[in-house]
Amino acid sequence: MSQVAYLSAGKREQTKVQNRQAILDAARAVFAEMGYDNVTVRDIIRRTGLAAGTFYNYFKSKEEVFAALADDGARRFAPVLKELRGQGKGFEAFVRDAIHAYFHFLEKEHATWAAQRLVSEPHPHVYGPTPEMGAVFAEVRAAILEETARGGPVADPDFLAGACIAVAREVGDRMLERRPVDVEAAADFAVSMIVSGLRGLPKAGG
């Protein structure tokens, strides 16, 4: 029994992992299509082809799937940001790199998300959170605050972080909606807006 344990861990375990992933994938898709609030557990499970009850073998609730997705996104994007921060290239370079990294991340990982706004037209859903965004935003915000602490603009940090995030998010969203997706152009625009915007704010000690 245990002599093959170092292999793929048996068919059962494999299926289990696959199912879990299937649920996560389905959840991501329906969250994107219908917006978190409008999604039901049944919507998620229906898309997987699994039985209704199976969902509850993996997650206790919609919230838990969402959290898992967010963790997932954070786990994958956080290292990138951390490395950028460690490079010590200065504030504007960091913003530039972070935005580019984020936009590339968005594009690579979630090309499918563009559907979100289009599909949800009939109901007044405007900004649906996507799980990874929440996680990513938290990271970006932390990074920005940290940079701010190092002699950056002294404007209200919450307003600042919020505004930067809002711009990146907004432009990133729109980027994904377009065909073809032009990451460079979108990132350049966002960087320009943010960097210029920051320059206009009062500096510490200035």
Binding site for DNA (CB under 7 A): 10-12, 15-16, 19, 40-43, 50-58, 60-62
**192 is in the binding site of which of a second copy, DNA, none (Cβ under 5 to 8 A by kind)?**
a second copy
Contacts of 206 (CB under 8 A, 6+ apart): none
57 near a second copy (CB under 8 A)? no
Among 36, 58, 94, 103, binds a second copy (CB under 8 A): 36
Task: Look up residue 203 and give its DSSP letter.
Answer: B
Rounded CA-CA distance 160/194 in Å is 10
Rounded CA-CA distance 91/147 in Å is 6
Residue 2 CB neighbours (<10 A)? 5
**60 is in the binding site of which of DNA, a second copy, none (Cβ under 5 to 8 A by kind)?**
DNA
Residue 143: CB minimum distance to DNA, A:
34
CB 110 within 8 A of CB 77: no
CA 117: distance to chain centroid? 16
CB 69 within 8 A of CB 30: no
Residue 47: CB minimum distance to DNA, A:
12
Residue 76: CB minimum distance to DNA, A:
24
Which of 46, 51, 54 minimizes the C-alpha distance to 27? 46
CB 113 within 8 A of CB 69: no
Among 86, 122, 180, 206, binds a second copy (CB under 8 A): 122
162 near a second copy (CB under 8 A)? yes
Rounded CA-CA distance 187/171 in Å is 8
Residue 121: CB minimum distance to DNA, A:
17
Residue whose CB is less far from DNA, 6 or 200:
6
What is the contact surface with a second copy in residues (CB under 8 A)? 35-38, 63, 66-67, 70, 122-129, 131, 133-134, 155-156, 158-160, 162-163, 165-167, 169-171, 173-174, 185-186, 189-190, 192-201
